[in-house]
Amino acid sequence: MKLITSIIKPFKLDEVREALAEVGVTGLTVTEVKGFGRQKGHTELYRGAEYVVDFLPKVKVEVAVASDRVESVIEAITKAARTGKIGDGKIFVSSIEQAIRIRTGEANEDAV
CATH number assigned to the domain with residue range 2-110, chosen from the 4 options 1.10.10.10, 3.30.465.10, 3.40.640.10, 3.30.70.120: 3.30.70.120
CA pair distance 52, 31, nearest whole angstrom: 24
pTM, two decimal places: 0.85
All structural domains of the chain with their residue ranges: 2-110
- For 11-35, the pLDDT digits (tens) are 999 999 999 999 999 899 999 999 8
- For 47-67, the pLDDT digits (tens) are 777 667 778 889 999 999 999
Neighbours of 65 (CB within 10 A): 25
Helix-strand-coil percent breakdown of the chain, rounded to 5? 30, 40, 35
